[in-house]
Each structure stands twice: as C-alpha cells, then as structure tokens.
Structure 1
C-alpha cells in the first residue's frame, strides 16, 4: 500500500474543460442531492444544474458563490473516490479555498458543514468583492529556485504598498508563482512596472478578490458571525495549514481551528509552498495526490517540492525524470493518472 498526502485546489480551477466534472466523477448521489437542497434553501442554483449546463459561462461559473461550491464538491468527491485498499492517506492540505475542502476531507468538518462553510464564504466574498488578484512568476521556465529574484519582487510589492492610496501584498506563495492581491491602484502599478514575461504575466485573475490580505477583514468578521465554532471538530487525519503548521488528530483545539480558518486564513498570506514542504518532510509520502477539479495545481506542487529540495530535485528536468521513473505526483483531473488514486482503469473511467 502506498502512502499519500492529498492536496485540494482553490479558486480558478473549475473552468470550461471541467464542465461536467461532478456528473462524471462525484461518487455519492445522495450527498450531491443534499448539497443541491442546501443551495435551493439559499436561493442559489444547484450544483447539478451548474455542472450540467450545456455550455460554460465565465460570468456564471467563476463567480465566488458558484465556483467555491463547485470546486469544493469536486475535491471532496475525488477524495471519497480514492481507493483505500491501495492508498493510505497520511495527511491532507490545500491551496487557499482548498483549505475548506481539506477540513472536510480530514473530517474536521462534516461534508455538509464543509459545504456550509465554503458556500457561505464564497457568497460573502462575492458580495463584497474587495480588491483583486494577479499572478507573477519568480521561477524561470526551468523551475530552478531564484531566491534573489523572489526577494526583489517582494521588495517591489512592499514599495508599491507604501505609496499613498496603493494596497498590494503577497496573497499566496504558490510554488514558483507569487499571487499578489490589493486594490486597483496597487495592482495596476505592479502591472505597469513588472517586466512582461512568458507572454501572459502579470496575469489578472477574473472574479477574484484580495484574498488572504487584511482587506478581507470585513468578510472575516461576517464569516465568524455566520459560522459557529460548533461546526468544527477534531480532524481524523493530520491537516497542514497555510502556515505550514500541522493540526493533529486528537490534539487539536476545534475553537482554535475555527479561529484560524475564519481569521488568519482569510486575512493573512497563505504559504502553500510551506504547506507542501511540511507535508513532504513530516510525512514523506509515496504519492502527492492533487484532487480535481482541473490540473493547474500540479505545477505549483512540483515547484514547491523543488524549492523544498525534495528527493534531490533542483529543476523541472529533475522533476520530469523522477516522475517518469516512478510517478509521485498524481493529478486526479487527468484520466491517465486518476486510476493511480482510484484503482480504476482509463477504460472504466471512459465507460
């Protein structure tokens, strides 16, 4: 049996290619019906209707109040589909909104309570839509660590943030990428001053707010008022949070977990790179399984492992050679890799 750390993705991972993901892969029709009923009770379109739409709508499917619930359900469904006879999950983590999914996967929240948390926070953030986010790389195409470049970029961010009327901060340390968040003045200044790279960066993220910055303090307050600490319990599996800290089964304070989830996690930088470093070094898994939807988080996981010096890897070529010799990164959004986690063959998936 192989050991695995499961990694849940965040916003921006349910896109056109992912339309129909829940219909294809979600393993529990009764649980999906409960999620749909909860959406109806809130006056929202059901996940079944959103996922089963004839065509993808960026304006509809990427809204925080829709995207968060779709991504949560896809991630949880994939976690429930992992073959427990072949894979032993030793820890769970996630990127940004994926923390909420990780809480449910680790049983610190029930599936329904996790849905309540993610649906509530997605709606509150969409209603407020304070600020925005953009993405910019600090690693080159070879994925070799370049700490001086990263430090220079963060210095530039701090310099912009110090200007009158400008807000800009590190939102997510995402492997080889910096996800920056701020107000329009701060974001526009960085876009104007950062050298264009790879033909698409700096890249503004649509329908995203200034997540993981103190601009989200009003949303955090609303979330704490709407979501009771009693929803949270002891995790059944170790949880690695956005600081790289571990919440251990039987040794975690549910009140503190609520406080972190609806406090620090909302208003402070999310260090996904540190989460992967801790997961690798503390649990030394055979596999890193990235749940769906989508496949975009795999690169950030690989980059984070390189930055951690994991298994002697120091570049993209090192990772590709290691992955080809014995796959350690499994993306459940790819049919050809999904079976490594679920025990199903590609033919069974297609049928």
Structure 2
C-alpha cells in the first residue's frame, strides 16, 4: 500500500435515510448520467415515476418520498453514486456491509450484483413491501445519552418483546441497530410495546412512516414473491468481501451464488437483521483504518459508533471516548457530510 492510503469498510444505509435535506442529492452528486437514465427507464417500464423526477421535485413529500417503491430506489442510487466516488488513491476498500435494505446496495457495491441488477432487486423488493404493507416498525433506544453499554436494559426490553409476542399479538426484533432496537409487529404488538415503555428523549418509541414489519416472519409472502420475480442468475461472484445481517462473511471467489440469492431473498427478509454484529465482525475481521458510511443522509453514523462501542472496539467505551477518538484521528466518515466526504473522495 502506498504511504497515506487507508483501509476502509464501507457501510450502506437502509430505509429512512433519504429525507428532506437529501432532496436533490442525485442531481448534485450522481455523476454517471447514463446510468441514472437507465434506472429511470427501468422505473418507466414499471409505470413508476423516474428517480430524476422524484429527486428533482420542488418539495419533499413524506407521503411520496418515504414510500417503499420510491425510497428504496432513491437510497440505492445515492449509495451507489457515493461508493463510486471513493478515491482509490486515498482509500483501499477491504469489505462492504449495510443496514437492512443497505444489504442490497452492498451487493452491488461489492459486484455480486451489477448496478442494474442491484436496482432491479431494490426496486422489486421496495415495491413488493409497499404493495403488501404487512405490519409496521418502531424504534426504541436501550442506551442512555452517554452510550455506555447497558446489556441489562437491552435484555429487559427484549424480554418484554417476547412477552407481548406470546399474547396473540406479533412483535419481534427487526434490526439490532447499535444502541437502538428496531421492532417489527402488527398493530396490536406495536401498540402494546408503546403502552408498556416510558417515553425517552422526547420522541421514542417512534413509529416509522411507510415502513412494513421488515425482517420478521410477517414478510414471508414478500420473500416468496421476491424469489418468484428475481432469479438467482442475477447474482455473481463479488470482487469484495461482504458482511451480511448475521455477521457472516461472503468471500470473493468462494461464494455459492445460489446460497447468496436464497439468503438475500429469504433469511434477510424474514429474520432479524443484526447490524450491530455485522459491524463488530467488520471491525474484528478487517480491522480497517476507517468505517465509511455512504449517503444518503447522516443518520446511520450513530448506530455504527454505538456498535463499535458495544463490541469494545479499540478501547471505545462510551460516547466521550468515541468523540475524542474522532477528533484526534477520524475512525468514522459520513459521506452525507460535505467536510467528511472530502476526506475520501
């Protein structure tokens, strides 16, 4: 490696990251206009509004821009665009991972799906989720403001989830997201949890608009439809290692692409996504100089930092120790922030 070149694990964000501040991001930062035009043609063929029109809208509309059939495609394009601007003279990408829908983006960044193949997977699954709209999601933190690990509080909340799930309602852990629990359930399950826990930080428990009960058995019909519409032939050997939502690593040249298809449109859709463990595995297996979170948005950085603290990576024990480390020598780069973006592009 040339002097000054840094190793990095790239992390792709999931749903909920293309918000009002991100409107217009593709117009500003997506440099491959021919590829964007191909994405637009793929959308038009499905009778869907183009990404250019959605991203170029005068106003951000929650009802429109957060819908699964729109949000997923916008996020995927923004992520892929960012990944392609990472400067190989500065950065040696050693692995990729993602949160939830970000797994689909990670597959494309790593080369296991072509840019168009990844778009087809994301757009199909986002549309199926929206059309079926089974269940919902809410977010609730188990860490305090100082991010000091609190395994007892986490265990207590998960016991409550199990208890509610055993009453005829449906409630399960959707995403283990750093210091947050993302829960999936039916209305009865979500409402029971909201009633049982105190409001914290003035906004949690927080329902996620236009989100179905991702990563739970509620999505079994979606997984079945996805496998019927998306063939295993879309998948190929990746050029970079990929860390999935179980923390399993898929290595270039050694991937069973059929198993990768089955995981992506099976387990990944219907079982808990353990983002915290994926980040811990990325840190331990690849020990990168940097963790780069692509855009859109900046909301995933906290969960990455919390995941590193929870795995006691490199002596990080709480928010203060992480912030001190960031000031001295950045460990986490969020491409959604212009100043940080400049460090890696």
TM-score (norm. length: structure 2): 0.98
Give the Cα separation in 1 of the matches to 2:293 and 2:149.
22
Q: Secondary structure at the match of 1:40?
A: helix
Aligned runs of 1:83-122 on 2, under 5 Å? 83-122=87-126
> Given the alignment of the two structures, is residue 150 of structure 1 paired with residue 154 of structure 2, yes or no?
yes
1:22 is matched with which residue: 20, 26, 39?
Answer: 26
1:239 match = 242
Identify which of 8, 12, 19 aligns with 2:12: 8
Counterpart position of 1:220: 223
Q: Does 1:207 align with 2:210?
A: yes
How far did residue 341 of structure 1 move?
1.3
Matched, 1:339 2:309: no
Q: 2:298 aligns with which of 295, 302, 318?
A: 295
Match of 1:180, SS state, is: strand
CA drift at 1:27: 1.9
State the alpha-carbon separation in 1 of the partners of residues 46 and 84 from structure 2.
26
Say which SS state the counterpart of residue 58 (structure 2) adopts: coil
**Aligned partners of 1:27 and 1:156: how far apart in 2?**
47
How far did residue 290 of structure 1 move?
0.2
- 2:61 is the counterpart of 1:57: yes
Q: Which residue of 2 aligns with 1:196?
A: 199
Q: Aligned residue pairs: how many?
A: 341
- Secondary structure, in 3 states, of the residue corresponding to 1:341? coil
For 1:262, which of 265, 277, 280 is the aligned residue?
A: 265
**In the alignment, is residue 76 of structure 1 matched against residue 71 of structure 2?**
no
Task: Return the alpha-carbon distance in structure 2 between the equivalents of residues 215 and 159 of structure 1.
Answer: 18
Following the alignment from structure 1 to structure 2, what is the Cα–Cα distance between the partners of residues 308 and 5? 16
Q: CA deviation at 1:80?
A: 0.4
- Would you say the 8 A contact 1:27–1:80 is kept in 2? no
Report the counterpart of residue 251 of structure 1 in structure 2.
254
CA distance, structure 1, for counterparts of residue 32 and residue 251 of structure 2: 28
In the alignment, the residues of structure 2 paired with residue 184 and residue 316 of structure 1 have an alpha-carbon distance, to the nearest angstrom, of 34
Question: Which residue of 2 is the match for residue 180 of structure 1?
Answer: 183
Instruction: Quote the Cα distance in structure 1 between the aligned partners of 2:247 and 2:321.
Output: 24
List alignment gaps of at least 5 residues for structure 1. Answer: 343-351
Distance between the aligned counterparts of 2:31 and 2:244, measured in 1? 26
Indicate yes or no: 2:281 matched with 1:278.
yes
2:134 equivalent in structure 1: 130
Q: Output the aligned Cα RMSD.
A: 0.4
Q: How far apart, CA to CA, are the structure 1 residues paired with 2:174 and 2:58?
A: 34
Partner of 1:345: none
TM-score computed with the length of structure 1 as normaliser: 0.97
Give 4+ residue runs of structure 1 displaced > 3 Å after superposition.
Answer: none
1:29-40 equivalent positions in 2, closer than 5 A? 29-40=33-44
Aligned residue for 2:343, secondary structure, equals helix
Q: Which runs of 5+ in 2 are unaligned?
A: none
